[in-house]
Structures are given as structure tokens and as C-alpha cells.
Chain A
């Protein structure tokens, strides 16, 4: 079942908003969908990149790989982050910081070809 990770500004969750930075976002909201695009599960995880002194983006992506994420949403991805996502066949999507996460899920469904 497809999983989306959204860089979250505050405590995470569907009512939170997209963070202003990907690698240093305090949390990731993990939304799991079924094949029809219905939300079946929402979790929040800490971002190991948030406190990292270096290589934050890579640490963040490693955590998302461990979660089995298929699509990552953030305000922007640097060339190194992009390189890793491409190598690992993880889709990426940008969304303006401050956008409601609930709204993002709708766009993300299209990106994944669902619903």
C-alpha cells in the first residue's frame, strides 16, 4: 500500500502544515493509502536529520527508506537529496511551506496515480 511522507512543520499529522525545510523538518507525517486512495493510516515520526550536524537530508531520506515510503513531499530538494531519491526509486513532490498536509494528500494521490 502506497506510503507518502510529508515534511511537517510542527507536531505532524493531517492538520499540520508542510515544513519550511525538508532536511531539518522536525517531523515527518507518514500517510498510508489503499489502492483506491483512501487514507488507512497516519503516523508521525521524528526526523533524524533535524538535529544532525551534517548530512541532514541523507539521514532524513534513510529514515524514510526504512519506513518504506514511496513518495516524499517537501518544499524543495537539493541536488544531493534528489540524487538519493532517484537512486532509490522514491518519487518526490514539492509543495509550498505552510500548505495544509490534508490538502497535500489529495495532490499526492494524483502523483501516485490513485483514486
Chain B
């Protein structure tokens, strides 16, 4: 079975893409079959880091809906605006208008409209793309159309495409989105290991805990990379404390390094452009340790780093009084 490693953080901008691209490049050079998946459908960036110049495949997904009012039938009763769960309907310039970047195309307004004046139409949700990077491995990317509801479907689709082309020894590196919403949930679902990236700030620790909770809900063994550790050494201790409590494998730490933004400005991978920089050296060491412990010995590593306090997702449900208890 291919090995799926998901890189997540909760907080944006802490270095997920740097870690995932370095890991993919390193493992490829070590002879592994690699597939990179950019699961940040909101703002995919991996193709920029990996210098993709053109796409081999591009496929639109038109499975999103947006509702529209037929003004020849509308009587301005305003019931649609009342029932819309997202307040997507507003009264502007004398008529009710559905805002297409907020509307999720559910059937609610269409069902309540007394004149049957609302229909929904299919619109593009996003695009998935495949490129062969110049480093010899493929990259799958998903990009959500601006204004569409966030969804894990595009992420699930590109992960499935990657799995379909993977051999049993392939390593799939998934660069997930920031946050903990459906895209991240879909990125972590089905992964064999999570690499969590954090920087030593209170905000990053808070977001780390949230994304780790998702990992725990999936019983996903996790490793931790601390980026820019020298900007605040005392906070590093707080993060290490959390990692220890939760049985997270601390894989390595990367120092703050000017070469990182410089490489980003050049749109080239750091480890190719400045291989001797402190950050590149630290990243390569981290990649080496990931190969040694997670890729080569996944069973043992996973057993050692299973979440110590697994969490089961349970919805908080409030029963209506009419049905009794």
C-alpha cells in the first residue's frame, strides 16, 4: 500500500509547503517513487515552489450549485431571505438578490418560494491539475474557485487520483491547507502519518493543538517540526511539553533563516538554491529522519506514536422537546 504522509499546521504561513516540498525532493533523490499532492485548494502554492511551468492535465469540477431568482415570477415576498441559512439573499435596488459567492445552492429557498421562482444551476467548484515536476515526480493540485463553499471533495479527489497512480512502495506527500475545516479533515483522513509544523508563538501552539485534535480523531500518529525555533526559545519549551504529553515524535527544529524568504522570492526550492544555508541543512536532516523512522519503519514508528489520548468525534445534539427524551 502506498504510504501517505500529510503535512499540516493549523496556522498559516509556518512552513508547511517548505517542509512538504523538501520532503518530496529528498525522498525522490533517495530513490523513492513520490507523488506530491497540494491539498491547499484555497491558495495552492506547491506548483510555484516546485517550478511547474505547464500542466499535463486539467479537469474542471462543476458539481457546485448556485441558486438564482427568476424575476419574471418573483413577487418580492422575501421569504427566501428569511429562510436562507447563510444570509445570502439581500434586498438591493428594489429586488431580492442572491449573492453567488455566499450561496451554497441548497434547496431551501427554492422549496419555500410560493411562486416557484427559484432554480439552482451548476457552477464550477474548482479545478484539479496534474503536472510532472522537473524533479521527476508528479504533482496533483486542487484549486477552489473564489467564492465557492469550502469542501473536502476536491482534496479527496486528488488524493484518490494520487492513490490510483501509486505503486505499493510509493510515498504520497500531502501538503494540507491551514485551519481545521473540511479541506484539512480530508487531507488527514486516510493518511498514515501526520507531520505537524509549528513556530514558537502562542498563536501557533493554539492552532497546533486544534489540528492535532483532528489527528487524534483519526488515530493518526504524528511528528512535529518546529520552524524558526530561535525567534523565541522559551516558547519552544511549551511546544515540546505539549508534544511530550501527547506522544508526538519531535522530528526536528529549523532555525530562522533569511535564505528561506529569499528562495521563496526566487520561486525555487530552498534546498536546491541554498543547500548550505542553516535552514536547508536542518530541513534535510529532518527529511532524513523522516525517511529513517517513518518511511522505512512505519509499523514500529506508528505503534510508538499512536495518540496517547485518542479523541472520538461526537456531535453535540439537542433533541427537540416535542419528541420527549
Contacts and interface: CB of A to CB of B under 8 A. Distances in A.
Touch A–B, Cβ below 8 Å:
yes
B160 interface: yes
Contacts of B1: 96
B190 A78 contact: yes
A20 B63 contact: no
A59 interface: no
Interface residues of B, number: 18
A20 B190 contact: no
Contacts of B164: 20-21
B163 interface: yes
Contacts of A79: 185, 189, 218, 313
A20 to B, nearest CB: 5
A21 B62 contact: no
A54 B61 CA distance: 9
A97 interface: yes
Interface centre among A75, A78, A97 (most CB of B within 10 A): A78
A54 B153 contact: yes
A78 B163 contact: no
A63 interface: no
B59 to A, nearest CB: 12
Interface in B43-102: 61-63
Interface in A4-33: 20-21, 24
A89 interface: no
B156 interface: yes
Contacts, number: 28
Contacts of A66: none
A37 to B, nearest CB: 27
Given A78-B156, A79-B189, A21 B63 contact: no
A102 to B, nearest CB: 20
Contacts of A53: 61-63, 122
B185 A21 contact: no
A90 interface: no
A76 interface: yes
Contact of B189 (A78, A96, A97): A78
Nearest to B161: A21
Interface in B270-321: 313
B22 interface: no
Interface of A: 20-21, 24, 53-54, 75-76, 78-79, 96-97
22 contacts: A20-B160, A20-B163, A21-B160, A21-B163, A21-B164, A24-B160, A53-B61, A53-B62, A53-B122, A54-B63, A54-B153, A75-B163, A76-B163, A76-B190, A78-B186, A78-B189, A78-B190, A79-B185, A79-B189, A79-B218, A96-B1, A97-B163
- 7 closest A-B pairs by beta carbon, nearest first, are A53-B63, A54-B63, A20-B164, A21-B160, A76-B190, A78-B189, A79-B189
